Every structure is written in structure tokens, then in C-alpha cells.
Amino acid sequence: MSDVILSVKDLTAEVDGNPILKGFNLEIKAGEIHAIMGPNGSGKSTFSKILAGHPAYTVTGGEIVFQGQNLLELEPDERAKSGVFLAFQYPLEIPGVSNVDFLRVSYNAKRKHEGLDELDAFDFDEVVQSKLTLLKMDPSFLNRSVNEGFSGGEKKRNEILQMALLEPRLGILDEIDSGLDIDALKVVASSVNALKKPENATLIITHYQRLLNYITPDVVHVMAKGRILKSGGKELALELEAKGYDWVLDSQAVGA
């Protein structure tokens, strides 16, 4: 049996006093790809931000154990260095900081945490070039300011490049498919597939089934009103695409 990477039990959380998560449970094992689907406002993105430690959300109950460690005790940067990576739905622009400098600072922060020597610009260039090749990205990406003036697709690919460099144990992709045309979606999905490793896990947060045509999940969860209502195999995503979310919500109401 594979190692459990992430275990979430009875998690409740709020923002500005409004409850968003109401008893959330999830377990992810090494090598697995999970997808959380759900209608807008179900709490999917909130959950991803809580995993990464966004200060706007307050956890009011339950626990999150990441590789045997209480994740809620860690600062966001410590979570990242421990192997949690969140690809943002809306990556921020940082004019004035070149992408390559940003990537190197980030990469070296992780190396330092692991007790490794930091890489100088020259050695880092070798590492980043190999990732660019793997992801079929244009090296000109590196010299631009972080996300400034990037198209939607470029921003998402830049998130994946960061993920490729940091090699997280748990990669969380928050609506990585939103706003992408089909070609850009295929590129992003193939990059995610290229990064898959048996010891790592991926959590995909999405509103649309479309992405799951290109990244095959092991487990699909349906989330609504701050909880997971139903879990199943990849066929569940197709069922949702065909029937919408209502039948899950309705069957839950009947069962309750």
C-alpha cells in the first residue's frame, strides 16, 4: 500500500466570519492524481488556499496532516519548502523582478531547507534550461518580469515551470484550465503529465471536466457547500459532464 501524503479530517474554516469549509475529508496517496470538482462557491479554491496557508482564511476545526506533519503549524513558506505547491488560479504579476531571479530565489530557498548548497546563476541556468526543454517553453520567458504582461496561458505555464523546478510532493493545481483555449490546455496538461512521478501526488481543482480528458485522475471528488459529497473513479467526471452537478446535490439531499 502506498504512503499517505495528505490526510484531511473534519476540516472547518471561515473567511471574515463566514464558514466556507464544513467538515471536509480527503486522503491522497503517493502516485495518485485526485480531482475536486464542484459548482462555483463550493469551497474548492478556498481549500487549495488553506493548504498553502493563505492568511485570509481561518481554520476553526479539524486537521491537515502532510507527510506525517501537522501542516497547519507551518508558515506558507515552510509548507512550500516541505513540498506543498499551489499553482495559482490568478498568478500575481511582479514587475521589476525577472522571472529567472524569482525562480532561483525560490529554488534556492528549497535547497537550503534541504541542507543543500544554493546554486549560483550559472549552475541554476543549467537546471532551468532542462526544465524549459522538458516543458517545451521558450527561454525568453526567463528574462521577463514575473508574469508581467503574460497572456493567461503563459501565466499558467509559468506556474507549471515553477512546479517543475520545485518538484513538490503535492502539487495543487487551482483551476489551471480556466481561461485557456484548447491548445493551451493541451500544453499545460502534457506538462503536468510529464512531471508525474510515483512518489508524488497531484490535486486538481477544476470546474470543468475538459481538463480531465488530458490528465487522467485516479479519484474524482464532487464538492459542494464546503464538503465532499461524492467520490468515485474517472468515470464520475464524465457523469458530471453529462448530467451536471444537480443530481449529486439532489441525491445528497434525499439521503440526508
Partner 1 sequence: MTIQSTLSDVGNLGLSTKVDRAAYLLGLLSLRSELPSELAGLQEIRDRAFSVVRDRAIPSTREEEWRFTDLSGLLQVQFQNSAPSEIGFPQIESFLLPESTNSRLVFVDGVYAPALSAVDDLPDGVLVGNLAAGVQLFPKLYEHLALHPGGEEIFTALNTASFTDGAIVRVSQNQAIASPIHLLFVSTQEALCHPRALVVAETGSSVTLVEEYVSLAEGAYFTNPVTEIWLGENAEVRHTRVQRDSVAAFHIGKTAVSQARDSRYDCTAVSLGGKLSRHHLEVYQTGEQTDTKLNGLTIVDGDRLGDTHSLIALSQPYGTANQVNKTIVSDRAHAVFNGKVFVPKAAQLTNAAQLSRNLLLSPKARVDTKPQLEITADNVKCAHGATVSQLEDDEVFYLQSRGIEADQARKLLTYAFAIEVIDRISVASLRHALTQLVRIQSA
d(CA 139, CA 142): 6
- Bridge-partner residues for 230, per DSSP? 222
Site for partner 1 in 151-170 (CB under 8 A): 162, 166
* DSSP state at residue 142: G
Residue 201 CA to residue 182 CA, distance in Å, equals 24
Cell 526543454 sits on residue: 133
Establish if 238 lies at the interface with partner 1 (CB under 8 A): no
- When binding is defined by CB under 8 A, the residue of 18, 40, 73, 92 that contacts partner 1 is 92
Contact between 166 and 110 under an 8 Å Cβ cutoff? The reply is: yes
Nearest distance, CB of residue 253 and partner 1, angstroms = 36
Q: CA 49 to CA 36: how far, in whole Å? A: 14
Please select the residue that binds partner 1; options are 85, 124, 141, 150, rule is CB under 8 A: 85
Least Cβ distance, residue 80 to partner 1 (angstroms): 4
Query: Minimum CB separation from partner 1 for residue 167, in Å?
Result: 12
Residue among 75, 220, 214, 93 at smallest CA distance from 159: 93
| Contact pick of 94, 134, 182, 194 for partner 1 (by CB under 8 A) | 94
Cα dihedral sign, 54-153-34-221: positive
Q: Choose the stretch contacting partner 1; rule: CB under 8 A; options: 5-13, 28-36, 86-94, 129-137.
A: 86-94
Q: Are strands 201-206 and 33-37 parallel, antiparallel or unpaired?
A: parallel
Question: Which of 44/79 has CB closer to partner 1?
Answer: 79
Strand boundaries in 67-144, DSSP class E: 69-70, 84-87, 94-98
Binding mask 170-209 for partner 1 (x = CB under 8 A): ----------------------------------------
Minimum CB separation of residue 15 from partner 1 in Å reads 13
Using CB under 8 A as the binding rule, whether residue 113 contacts partner 1 is answered as yes
Contact range with partner 1 by CB under 8 A, out of 2-10, 23-31, 69-77, 221-229: 69-77
Q: From the list 52, 160, 205, 228, which residue makes contact with partner 1 (rule: CB under 8 A)? A: 52
> Residue 66, Cα to own-chain centre: how many angstroms?
14
CB of 42 to partner 1, least distance (A): 22
Residue 127's closest CA among 161, 154, 97, 160?
A: 161
Binding site for partner 1 (CB under 8 A): 52-56, 75-77, 79-81, 85-86, 88, 91-92, 94-97, 102, 105-106, 109-110, 113, 145, 162, 166
